[in-house]
Amino acid sequence: MAERASGAESGAVVRGREPDAGREIGADKGEQRRELGVFLRSRRERIRPEEVGFAPGGRRRTPGLRREEVALLAGVGVTWYTWLEQGRDINVSTQVLEAVSNTLRLDRQERNHLYTLAGLQPGPAKLGDCSAMPASIQRMLDAVSPYPAVVLNARYDVLAFNDAYCKVILDMGQIPVEERNMLWLTFVSKEWRCSFAESELMKSHMVAGYRAALADHLGEPDWQHLTEQLLTRSPEFAELWQRYDVAAPSTRIKVLENPKAGLLRIEPAVLWLSQLGQLRATVYTAADEDTEAKLRALVAADN
Q: Quote the pLDDT of residue 183.
A: 95
- Domain ranges for the chain: 7-123, 130-300
- Inter-helix orientation angle 108-118/94-103, to 10°: 140
Q: Is the pLDDT of residue 15 over 60?
A: no
- Inter-helix orientation angle 221-233/94-103, to 10°: 70
Q: Which residue blocks in 253-288 are alpha helix, DSSP H?
A: none
Q: Quote the pLDDT of residue 189.
A: 80
Q: Is the pLDDT of residue 11 over 50?
A: no
Q: Is the pLDDT of residue 123 over 80?
A: no
Distance of CA 46 to the CA centre of its chain: 21
Domain 130-300 CATH class label: alpha beta
**Range scoring the smallest mean pLDDT among 29-33, 50-54, 62-66, 298-302:** 29-33
Distance of CA 215 to the CA centre of its chain: 15
Neighbours of 42 (CB within 10 A): 12
Question: Would you place residue 178 in the very low, low, confident or very high pLDDT band (cuts 50, 70, 90)?
Answer: confident
| pTM given for the model | 0.59
Q: How do residues 79-101 score in pLDDT, each as one tens digit?
A: 989 998 888 877 878 888 888 98
Q: Say whether domain 7-123 belongs to CATH 2.40.50.100.
A: no
Cα-Cα-Cα-Cα dihedral sign, residues 162, 167, 171, 174 = positive
E strands of 54-194, at which residues? Answer: 91-92, 149-152, 158-161
Contact 257, 38 (CB under 8 A): no
Return all residues near 196 (Cβ < 8 A) that are at least 6 apart.
202, 254, 255, 256, 257
- In angstroms, rounded to a whole number, what is the distance separating the alpha carbons of residues 38 and 47? 15
- Stretch 74-78: mean pLDDT: 88
Contact 241, 211 (CB under 8 A): yes
Q: Is the pLDDT of residue 18 over 50?
A: no
Return all residues near 254 (Cβ < 8 A) that are at least 6 apart.
196, 197, 198, 202, 265, 266, 267, 268, 284
- Stretch 135-144: mean pLDDT: 93
Q: How do residues 228-283 score in pLDDT, each as one tens digit?
A: 999 999 999 999 999 888 888 778 899 998 999 999 999 999 998 866 667 899 99
Instruction: Indicate the length of the chain as a whole number.
Output: 303
